Structure 1
Amino acid sequence: MSTMPETMSDTTPTRGYTDDQKYQIFNKEFMPHIDSMYNFAFRLTMDEDDANDLVQDTYLKAFRFISSFEQGTNAKAWLFRILKNSFINDYRKKSKEPAKVDYQDVETTYNSEDSETEHTVDLRAETVSDLIGDEVATALNSLPVDFRTVIILCDIEGFTYEEMAKILDIPIGTVRSRLHRARNLLKEKLRDYAASMGYNENIDD
């Protein structure tokens, strides 16, 4: 399994591959995901310049620590984890957005009566086809970053719960509960918009 140092530094050695092999791995395994990486970075930062900087930093780190990547494993998940860590360590320090979501208010409103029973609605199957794409994007962008992230990883990028847990460094149970609450928050925002446009019947439970 591919591993990535928890703390990256310029002194971390790179071993195991020749220079030619490194470039081959980089071009074959990493570069095909650059569009997804930028989309993820932009959804996190909400700024084009910051997103470009974050992607560039991610690819520099990926090349520097390429010896930690095992060919044949999920390169996309490995890159997303580096990007997520870079976002937390670098961007959030200067961001106006709080580093952590205050889940208490959210849980009070959206926590299930039976936390062990899932009533999560998959957004890909949600009846919101009549809604304008830009409005869905606006609603998604308005979510707290931690909730926005799990929706992007699961419903847009298609990662499994197990992959998301590794990317985010949280237990699978936390992934499930956070995704459930994030989807409910997004659904509420979409419902508000739909109501204003007369689409109530399309998204009511």
Structure 2
Amino acid sequence: MEAQLYNQLLNDHTPMLRTFAYRFTRDNEEVDDLMQDTMIKAIKNYGQFKEGTNIKAWLFTILRNTFINEYRRNTRKNALITTEKEISSAHLSQSATSNAGEANFAMADIQKALASIPEHYRIPFVKYFEGYKYEEIAVELNIPIGTVKTRIHMARQILQKKLKPYRSAV
């Protein structure tokens, strides 16, 4: 495919790509950045596009993957950034002492709520909470993985209802 025809196809699909990008970002400035990154990648990878294939799908895939990669990069970056206030010993000790009594009440309520969940929901939930993977729980309990996921989900819903007063306090 000639470069001029390829560039024309890119321009023809820009409005649809922009709409698609807005669904991801919900911010016009971020849409501009995402569109720019997508177009740069599409132009750089001009040689990889096979004539006769669906260019629209190819462009949407580039845009989606660019968004996902940027989201992951930002998530990792934000996880590494902490403020001095969050890690100061004075802040930690003040937080620990003021919440000790509340934590005891909360823990008792959590244990009561957990004990009230039917056993077939509680066991997979506790195992998952302890760090077991869905597959490991399914093998150990001899149930399908979908059942494990459903039971864990149901246990979470039950706990959320029973511990609703704590949700608004956070």
Q: Which TM class, normalised by the smaller chain length? A: 0.3 to 0.5
TM-score, L = length of structure 2: 0.41
TM-score (normalizing by structure 1): 0.35
Higher percent of residues as helix: 2
Larger C-alpha radius of gyration, 1 or 2? 2
Q: Which has the higher contact order (CA 8 A, sep 6+)?
A: 1
